[in-house]
Amino acid sequence: MSSTSVLLPVGGYWRLDVDADTVPTVVVTPPTGEPVPVLAAQTAAGRWQATYLVLAPGRYVARATVVDEDVVDFVAQVLAVTTGAEMPDVPAVVEYLGETSATEDEVQNALDAELAAQRGVCRVRAVYPPDLREALLRRVARNLALRSLPLAVLRGDAEAGTTVLPGRDPEVRRLEAPHRRMPIG
**Domains of the chain and CATH, by start:** 5-79 (2.60.40.10), 84-179 (no CATH)
| 70 or 164, greater pLDDT | 70
Count of CA atoms in the C-beta half-sphere (13 A) of 126: 9
Helix ranges (H only) for 25-147 are: 90-97, 104-121, 130-146
The predicted pLDDT at position 146 comes to: 81
pLDDT digits 0-9 by tens, 86-131:
899 999 999 999 988 899 999 999 999 999 999 999 998 888 889 9
Distance between CA 140 and CA 172 in Å, rounded?
Answer: 11
Distance between CA 162 and CA 158 in Å, rounded?
Answer: 9
Q: Average of pLDDT values for 59-66?
A: 93
Q: Average of pLDDT values for 148-155?
A: 61
Comparing C-alpha atoms, which of 69, 18, 72 is closest to residue 47?
A: 18
